[in-house]
Amino acid sequence: MKDTEGLIVENENLKKIIKDRSDFFSITAHKLRTSLTALKWTLRMFLNKDLGNISDEQKKYLEKLIENNEKSLLLINDMLISNRENNNSSVKLNVTNINIIELVEKIIFIFYGELKNKNINLILNKDENSKLQVKCDEEMIIGVFENLIENAIKYSPNGGEIKISIKKDEKSNGVLISIQDNGIGIKEEDTSKIFSKFFRAPNAIEKENTGSGLGLFTTKSYVDKNNGSIWFESVKGEGTTFFVLLPTD
Ligand code: ADP
């Protein structure tokens, strides 16, 4: 029989093995996600005929590829999330000062193809006079705005309009970011479930049959972990505005 000291050492070794595996998993999954995201936008450029004409048969194959790529991306996101959620040791925040305007502009650029594809006009109102920095985990904040902007595009009509505003919030001394769309909106009876794991409202399923219902759940958990707050206002059929308040110190 092992003595207590032996068991403690063994326990520590096991913890280290679990942490190393989880870190390896996380790094590999992030790399895969980056490649699949790049592939997604390239395939969409082909489909939008940005790179030249395509035949109906090529279009059919491209659509299938995009659908499968989307499924793989969702799977990787789910794996990353559950890895972080189940393994508290890897949910350490890496807090730095982030220039929030620059970060949001970079994310908008990622969605350039998608915005063009749906002919959506995106307007960015930024507070030019203030140096708007937030003190947060950058990777999590990227996840937050990727998800909110992707949803705004996904649930907007062709030719819609998205307004993003970034300004200092005098009351809390934080930075308030809002993302407003004129899309499908959220029904009053669904509002309490919007941040729940796996929830997708019926009008969202009808518009977009691909989706995991994990995006806003994760988004809220990231905002909470960074001592921020997130809420929304919506009218079904008219549009939705998500608000994110992030700390500056
Ligand atoms: P997904 O978009 O994969 O369904 P999310 O967790 O990102 O999952 O969002 C959960 C649900 O919240 C969506 O299915 C939809 O019902 C609703 N939702 C999120 N963003 C918007 C939006 N901009 N407009 C309307 N509904 C939205």
- In this predicted structure, what is the pLDDT of residue 132? 92
CA of 157 to the centre of ligand 1 (A): 14
- In this predicted structure, what is the pLDDT of residue 207? 87
- In this predicted structure, what is the pLDDT of residue 128? 75
CA dist., res. 123 & res. 121, Å (int): 6
- In this predicted structure, what is the pLDDT of residue 3? 85
What are the residue boundaries of the structural domains of the chain, listed by start? 2-88, 95-246
Mind listing the pLDDT tens digit of every residue in the chain (249 residues)?
568 889 999 999 999 998 888 888 888 888 888 888 888 878 877 887 878 999 999 988 988 888 888 778 878 876 776 676 665 544 568 899 999 999 999 899 888 878 988 999 999 999 876 679 999 998 889 889 999 998 999 999 999 999 999 999 999 999 999 999 999 999 999 999 999 988 999 999 998 766 778 889 889 988 999 999 999 999 999 999 999 999 998
Q: Does the Cβ of 80 fall within 6 Å of ligand 1?
A: no
In CATH, the number for domain 95-246 is 3.30.565.10
Q: Ligand 1 pocket check: which of 148, 151, 164, 181 to mutate, most ligand atoms within 8 Å of Cβ?
A: 151
pTM assigned to the model? 0.76
CA of 154 to the centre of ligand 1 (A): 9
Beta sheet of 121-126, edge-to-edge order? 121-126, 161-169, 174-181, 239-246, 229-235
For atom 13 of ligand 1, which residue has the closest CA?
200
The residues, ordered by sequence, that sit 6+ positions from 158 with a Cβ below 8 Å of its Cβ are 118, 119, 120
Q: Does the Cβ of 186 fall within 6 Å of ligand 1?
A: yes
- In this predicted structure, what is the pLDDT of residue 20? 87
Hey, is 111 helix, strand or coil?
A: coil
